[in-house]
Amino acid sequence: MFKTRGHDQLIEVPLNNQYYMSMPLEIIYQDEYIIAVNKPQALLSVPGLGPDKQDCLISRLEKFIPEAKVVHRLDCYTSGIMLFAKGIEMQRALSRIFHDRKIHKQYVAVVRHWFDENEGVIKFPMRCDIDNRPHQIVDYEHGKSAITYWEILQRKDHMVRLLLKPETGRTHQLRVHCAAMGHPIIGDGLYGNDGVKQPRMLLHAENLAFIHPVTSEEMDLSARCEF
């Protein structure tokens, strides 16, 4: 069943995960070349290893749009906007945009504390911890360049709301960078579990801006943040 609201479409998809008895796929934008979806938190972007990790965003989307192709990923516990291509040629075109850093990404995150400044940049090189996958670590000798710009959105009730703008796209980059600054993202059990149970990790991919590879239109797509 489709529920259409302008460019937004809500697709009712049957779920295997009992934790989410009803979780519609929210299509933010769609044309004949691309699809943008608001990924729920706690849902894999692509299939994982093992039969219990086959339910994911792309598999659900393919049930309604068989030609949908993955372009990039979000962590399982990160919500927000994901861009998909329709067909292999468009997948190559969009992948090139990501590779060439011609797409601008913005995330919202909440941490318990931050610094007095209102904006800044984090430049901690990163690599995978090969002895503790999928954990990523800061490594100044062997790590790859990782750059995140940040701005303060709000300071309230001993918590700080951040706007994070990654220039690079390393695995777990925002989570590692916040933790390396001494202020991990709230709810991040991998890099900053403070012993306080949280319903979710407070990290959301809010916005993607890029030039449409076919129409040359300036695209500015946003996914609502629920926290």
Quote the pLDDT of residue 195: 67
Of 8, 75, 139, 220, catalytic: 75
Q: Is 55 an annotated catalytic residue?
A: no
In this structure, the answer to whether residues 28 and 76 fall within a common structural domain is: yes
Residue 62's domain is classified under what CATH number? 3.30.2350.10
Domain assignment present for residue 222? The answer is no
In this structure, the answer to whether residues 61 and 131 fall within a common structural domain is: no
Residues whose CB is less than 8 angstroms from the CB of residue 175 and which lie 6 or more positions away in sequence, other chains included: 75, 184, 185, 188, 190, 191, 192, 203
In this structure, the answer to whether residues 34 and 93 fall within a common structural domain is: yes
In this structure, the answer to whether residues 84 and 156 fall within a common structural domain is: no
Burial of 159 (0-12, 13-18, 19+ CB in 10 A): middle
Q: Measured between alpha carbons, how far is 119 from 86 in angstroms, rounded to an integer? A: 37
Q: Measured between alpha carbons, how far is 225 from 64 in angstroms, rounded to an integer? A: 25
Last residue of a domain, one of 103, 136, 167: 103
Task: State mean pLDDT over 36-46.
Answer: 96
For residue 191, give both structure tokens.
Answer: 């890099």
Q: Scanning the structure block, which residue is given the tokens 């479409």?
A: 9
Domain assignment present for residue 220? The answer is no
9 pLDDT exceeds 90?
no
Three-point CA angle 153, 154, 159, nearest 5°: 125
10 pLDDT exceeds 70?
no
For residue 124, give both structure tokens.
Answer: 């901690």
42 pLDDT exceeds 90?
yes
20-24, 166-170, 180-184: the lowest-pLDDT one: 20-24
SS3 of the chain: helix, strand, coil, percent, to 5: 15, 35, 50
Last residue of a domain, one of 81, 103, 125: 103
5 pLDDT exceeds 70?
no
157 — pLDDT class (breaks 50, 70, 90):
confident
Q: SS3 for 216?
A: coil
Quote the pLDDT of residue 11: 46
Domain assignment present for residue 95? The answer is yes
Provide the number of structural domains found in the chain: 2
Domain assignment present for residue 57? The answer is yes
Q: What is the per-residue pLDDT across 96-153, written as a single tens digit (0 to 9) for each?
A: 999 999 999 999 999 999 999 999 999 999 999 999 999 999 999 999 999 999 999 9
Q: Measured between alpha carbons, how far is 225 from 81 in angstroms, rounded to an integer? A: 10
Q: Measured between alpha carbons, how far is 68 from 91 in angstroms, rounded to an integer? A: 9
Task: State mean pLDDT over 30-35.
Answer: 97
- The DSSP bridge partners found for residue 207 are 106, 222
pTM surpassing 0.75? yes
Q: List, in sequence order, the alpha helices (H) in the chain.
A: 57-62, 88-99, 173-180
In this structure, the answer to whether residues 89 and 177 fall within a common structural domain is: no
In this structure, the answer to whether residues 116 and 98 fall within a common structural domain is: no
Q: What is the per-residue pLDDT across 45-78, written as a single tens digit (0 to 9) for each?
A: 999 888 888 999 999 999 999 999 999 999 999 9
222 pLDDT exceeds 80?
yes
Quote the pLDDT of residue 124: 98
Q: Scanning the structure block, which residue is given the tokens 């990782």?
A: 146
In this structure, the answer to whether residues 43 and 125 fall within a common structural domain is: no
In this structure, the answer to whether residues 73 and 139 fall within a common structural domain is: no
- The DSSP bridge partners found for residue 86 are 68
Owning domain of residue 36? 2-103
Last residue of a domain, one of 54, 84, 103: 103
